Chains A and B, each alone.
Chain A
Amino acid sequence: MHTITLSNCVGKNLSVCLREHGFSVRRSCGGRGICRSCEVDILSGSVKERGQLRGVGQRVRACQCVVDSACLVVDTGQSADLIAHVEEAFTVLRPWPESGETLFAKARGNCALAVDIGTTTVAVKLFGTHTGISLAGAGALNAQTQVADDVLSRIEACAQAGGLERLQSLVLQTIHQLAQTCLDKAQRDWGDLGAMIVAGNTTMGHLFWGEDPTPMGKAPFTPRFTHTRRGDGAALLPEWAGIEVLSLPHMSAFIGADISAGLWAADFFEAQGVCVLMDIGTNGEIVLKTPQGIFSASAAAGPAFEGYGLSSGMRAKEGALESVRIKGGHLQTRTIANAPMIGICGSGYVDFLAEGARAGWLSEHGRFTENAPVLVHETHGRCVVLGGDEKAPVVVSEADIANLLKAKSAIAATLLTLLDKATLSPSDLDSVFVAGGFGKHIDAENAISCGLLPDVPVARIFYLGNASLGGACAVALDKAALPALERDIATVQTIAVNLEPSFEDHFIDEMGLNKMGENQ
């Protein structure tokens, strides 16, 4: 239970009011009233949901409601920080530069800030400009989520007057506050901060610099710029005057600087053999290196593996179901910190899919079989209960599974389509680099058996964590890095997978609970 009291909001949209009160309500469907991810319970007062009066005890979709009473109290079910998972940890596989000149040799002070601007969250790391020693880190929800959830909806918001300025100012404020937190933790002042190195997807890069992203909203998806940009912080925020700000280069509209940085962190261009970097998030970026060339594509998976739009989805946090085993027809579950189960995070879903198929609970199309302890729930439909209580059961429904399979299939089909370009198959991969917070917690064997990761020996899979942040730090510590990275990413070809005839077939084949490429 998490209550929020709203006063003087009569006539305004409830989800907008909640956001203005600092609660980042989920709207996986972009506020169209479809996904139910923004549902709240009314504890006092009333609203009009699509014109119908709703009051105490009723559950409503916040995005469809107009506040009707001067004082309104709602229960949002979970607190805002359950929604966004901020990944700050990273692993840099590249040999750390030992000595030599760093990127910001002439910057003032002795600290620099690496910034990863994610669509949902922003993570920063304060480090010694020349030593590379980590001084402090911090992460927070990207304040732009007040305006819209996903990249395309933010681009759409820029089509309206003042939209771009508002989004730019929100992200700069988020970064500014995180920088302040780090400086405080490390007992430094703004005067010590000489440089900022920024990575993020291409849209985030545009919004950071105040460049219009709208041409990226429609085909042919053309960014205004992709190159490295540098400038004095004064151009962004008055308080940043004197700070050297540099943003890393993007590859295309949907393969951004976060991936460029990730490739650097993975030492991707130097790695032996056929290798792939996969970022298993909403946009599912994939870069594949083969003897025939380096290909990249964005898989547009949607946020299912982040728990969005699912009956009991949540981020990896206390009380999230993170591991599932089905032994002899019985469920064995484990939650993070062994806390009472309140929801399911990505790793729990991956386990459920793989174990469910293995135990014969799930058919190859992801439907429950007669072996599964299925129950028909009034809102969730056919589902299996994994925990929780009568009032708030934690369930996986057939509709959830269909959503997860769609997201998985988008990722698998994109990788298979890229492999087709070089007539390779998943087992030809020598290294699989998994970027993003998701990878670290999943059971690799299970991810392989349900086809989310390619079928290779687990020793070939490397988890990078927040590779965008890691890569940004690594680039800052070596003056030679940036020109090398710019040269290397210029060799990456962006593939529009929808134009590849094999994509649709792969997308359909991969919708089942099979290993990647097994159904071809």
Chain B
Amino acid sequence: MTYVVEVNGLTKAYGDVKAVNNVSFKLETDKIYGLLGSNGAGKTTIMHMISAQQFETSGSLRVFGEHPYENNHVLQQVCFIKESQKYPDNYNVRDVLETAADLYPNWDQQFAMSLVEEFQLPLKRHMKKLSRGMLSSVGILIGLASRAPLTIFDEPYLGLDAEKRQLFYDRLLEDYAEHPRTILLSTHLIDEVGTMLEHVLLINRGQLLLDEETDSLRGRAFSVSGTAAAVDRFTSGRTVIDRQQLGGLVTASILNNPGQLNGQAEAEANALTVAPVSLQQLTVYYTRLQNRDSVSSKGAK
């Protein structure tokens, strides 16, 4: 099987600091991937390397089977929409769209113009006079209308209101259904986009924490509350990913043991109050867990 993206031991170091540290994953054809993680986790650096805007320090990187650096055959199949995109000073919206139309072989002009209308973009306005939200809309429009076999969106909705974000999600899903392609979307808004993602990659401190089907993470964790003694009895031998105490009351979040999803029923039978853990909350717990582990291992040195 050939993958759209295949990275192995990918590392980007700035002096002693490893922005991306030994990351390996594969992106399959025509899936929507979420790249999740805190600020500074290394998401943007990974996307920059995939799109040949930064060079890796070590590790291997294949995009459509080849190294992307100065590789036109690969790069014309990749559309990278980044939040900090710079445009020539004298360009207006129309100029940018015309350039994009030349750049991407699958560009759909009719689709682009319908998006111009829906996102209410002024074609003659200079790019430097656009609001933050409008700049984001231009990026989203290019990302959608280019129909690139690999489309990468790096936090593409800065300054966009809820209605326009919803419009982006609706058009993305619709167009993806008709023209499947591989999409990599980095985001903080997991609650908002979670249902669109088939697969998630969670990055923290330059390392890959999770590489899983989104649906398999739902219901992975749950929280139990009760007296400290009852909670601790129940959680012994289980993986606790979070624990909060209020007086004698303890709430602990735990992972279901692999292959069995009946932890909740068992907790209820033990008179504990059970609540689900959302996908967003789960990624927060995983991230905190790793941060805590790395702090304690540093302390041990």
Verify that A and B bind, or say they do not: no
